[in-house]
Chain A
Amino acid sequence: MSALILSGLALAFSGFAATSITMDRHYADIHGRGKEASRATRLRLRTLGWIGLLLSFMACIGASGWHIGPVLWCGILSLAAWTVTLLLQYHPRRVMQGAWIGIPAALLAAALLLRN
């Protein structure tokens, strides 16, 4: 498994995690019953989430090309989404902490993509 694919997986996880932790149910699971994310937080994390997914797509294209890359991306998205779903149920705070992995993964992916 190449480093690029791994960073793509981390980015997909991070992207989904950032999106999910502002959603009402999951935000309340993490921060306590009845709490809601502010508009600004929501917008910021959602934007970051989409950027993560986009970068993960680029990492997959970089790793496997335009033919296979999108197929790989779909598989990786499913895997990341299942991980986030299960973590949100059993260790919701981990999702918030885990989302940070997107930052080093983005740097790694960018470095690997620009090098080529």
Chain B
Amino acid sequence: MKEGLRQSMAWVHTWSGLLVCWLLLLVFMGGTAAYYKHEITFWMKPELHKAADAPSRVTPAESATLAVRELQQRAPKANAWFLDLPHERNPLIYASWTNPPKKGMTREERRAAFRTQNFTLDPMTGENTAAPRDTRGGEFLYRLHFDLYYMSAIWGRWIVGVAAMFMLVAIVSGVITHKRIFKDFFTFRPRKGQRSWLDAHNATAVLALPFHLMITYTGLVTLMFMYMPSPTKALYGAEQSAMFADVFPNAERVKPAKEFAPLADIAPMLLQAERAWGQAPTRIVVSNPNDANARVALHRPSGQQLSNIEPTMTFDGVSGALLIETAPMSTTLDTRAAIYGLHVAHFADPLLRALFFVCGLAGTAMVATGALLWGVKERQKYAKVLAKGGRVGFGVRLVDALNIGAIAGLPIAFAVYFWANRLLPVEIAQRTNLEANCFFIAWGLAALLAQIRPTRAMWRFQLTLGAVLLAGIPVLNALTTDTHLGVTLFGGPALRAVAGFDIVVLLLGLLLGWAAWWLGRKARKQAAARQPANPAQATPLETA
């Protein structure tokens, strides 16, 4: 036990990182994509593109009135109505509702029913848009990054939470074990084998360290009531909901009076909120519509604040009187809201959002280079065995295969998810589940193939496949919709999301293609270096 702190931290860093790195890659990629989940969802519903193209000319109050009129016809007896009004990242009016749960309905059935209870209005005409295809869009990737899939959300959150805790340990121990953190701050030396991988790992990790630390820690805080339940249990016992009611009074649900009362006009409430805020509300929740206990909650983005809690005004739905405004929060709550807000970055304008996205990609690269580094280092122990034509040990082979399956396989899965969105028949039953299944079938196949043959050729094959699939998405989009790059680049502001999506996947595809080409060149060079070795020995005079 004469090891120094640095050496022991190196051990902690290696193992805390390696054990969870493949899951972390999924979490990082999903979470990074989730910064654009609205844009991804919009891209995945091409039926809406046309309606969104024309700029909205109706005011928020008019939009809300239109939507409420439609909701009164379709769901007058709903539990609650949810309305999203047009704003920067959302060109259309989205409305959905929940019905009182029928007895004997399973959670799955309720969810399936909820997915059908919605409509989208064109803010130009007030008409229903073409029905969009059934897809979870970016929401699937967002949920995937902390709920996982094919298991209950609670299990997923525990698994991801444990991985995030390992990640936090890996970050801190990594900083301690990095002896030359300042001397090598700006160092990247390519074409030097292990040295280069380590440099790349350091550059992606150290230079975006504030982001990596923040995103890991804040990610844990978003689910802190689950990971650290003891304080709540000590104060409230089994009644967690009582704690939430105390802490978040705005979210308190009012029970219906079961007595009919007409819903007040919603437009004056919006105008009142707009006057008070200097900004129109973007989200409206009407609970117990057409009931004596109706409530209308107006939300707006938190704007120039980190907090994830949207300022809210709650009105009495019958009299139209203002009941509560978001009360000033305690410092503790404000701190939590800011930490939570940092993770989800709802405050980010386009530039800052792009920076978050790039840092997320850097995090993915950090995990990937770290995972590769383990294999590169471990392989050296087998240098003599390999020179004699022997094989590497089971551990190296397993890690190599898992690396291929995660680093090269996951982009294939993401690409296949988007391909499935365009190619699956629109009317097919269970469409959302099928899209998700396509993601996991593609990933499973890639991971399985990697386990069967974890070779450099497999790396090249999967990287090339991922590159072709990702870079092919703009082509696929052009073939299956009318809103291809030729249209979206010159279209209205709402179509910029579609153009941006096409361009980003194209760039990511090119990146993978470059990686595959680079591997190929390396393989050719090594083969060339091996070939002339024998003739050179045979005729030493010629070479001299």
Distance of A38 Cα from B358 Cα, bound (Å): 37
Tell whether, in the assembled complex, residue B351 and residue A5 are in contact, meaning their CB atoms are under 8 Å apart: yes
Q: How far is the CA of A112 from the CA of B237 in the complex (A)?
A: 55
One digit per residue, 1 when the CB lies within 8 angstroms of any chain A CB and 0 when it does not, for chain B 311-349 equals 000000000000000000000000000100010000100
Q: Are B207 and A85 in contact (CB under 8 A)?
A: yes
Find B306's partner among A5, A68, A77 (CB 8 Å cutoff): A68
Query: Is B99 part of the contact surface with A, judged by Cβ < 8 Å?
Result: no
Does A71 contact B306, Cβ atoms closer than 8 Å? yes
Given the known interface contacts A82-B203, A85-B187, A88-B186, the answer about A64 and B355 at a Cβ–Cβ threshold of 8 Å is no
Please classify how large the interface on chain A is, using the bins under 10, 10 to 19, 20 to 34, 35 or more: 20 to 34
Contact with B along A5-44 (1 / 0, CB 8 A): 1000000000010001001111000000000000000000
**Could you say which residues of chain B place their CB within 8 Å of the CB of A81?**
185-186, 207
Confirm or deny: A113 has a beta carbon within 8 angstroms of a beta carbon on chain B.
no
A86 to B187, CA, bound (A): 8
Q: Contact check, B186 vs A68: say whether CB atoms are below 8 A apart.
A: no
Whether B356 pairs with A85 at a CB distance below 8 angstroms is no
Q: Which residues of chain B are near A72, meaning CB under 8 Å?
A: 351-352, 355
Interface of A is mostly: helix
Contact partner, A20, options B185, B203, B211, B352, Cβ 8 Å: B185
Q: Mark B194-207, 1 if CB is under 8 A from A, else 0.
A: 00000000010001
A71 B203 Cβ-Cβ under 8 A: no
Contacting pair A25 B187 (CB below 8 A): yes
Shortest distance from the beta carbon of B361 to any chain A beta carbon, whole Å: 11
Q: Given the complex of chains A and B, what is the CA–CA distance between A5 and B208 in angstroms?
A: 19
A94-111, CB < 8 A from B: none
Across-interface contacts of A86 in B (CB, < 8 A)? 188
Cβ 8 A contact of A76, one of B185, B189, B203, B355: B355
Q: How far is the CA of A5 from the CA of B354 in the complex (A)?
A: 14
A74 to B78, CA, bound (A): 46
Encode A75-96 as 1/0 by CB contact (under 8 A) with B: 1111101101110110000000
The chain A residue with its CB closest to the CB of B353 is A75
- Kindly state the separation between the CA atoms of A85 and B362 in the bound complex, as whole angstroms: 14
- Is B210 close to A, CB under 8 A? yes
User: CB of A114 within 8 A of chain B?
Assistant: no
**Which A residues contact B (CB, under 8 angstroms)?**
1, 5, 16, 20, 23-26, 64-65, 67-68, 71-72, 74-79, 81-82, 84-86, 88-89
User: Which residues of B approach A to under 8 Å, CB–CB?
Assistant: 183, 185-190, 203, 207-208, 210-211, 214, 304-306, 338, 342, 347, 351-352, 355-356, 358-359, 362
Could you list 21 A-B pairs, sorted by A, with CB under 8 Å?
A20-B186, A25-B183, A65-B304, A67-B306, A72-B355, A74-B211, A74-B214, A75-B211, A75-B352, A75-B358, A78-B207, A78-B210, A78-B359, A78-B362, A81-B207, A85-B188, A85-B203, A86-B188, A89-B188, A89-B189, A89-B190
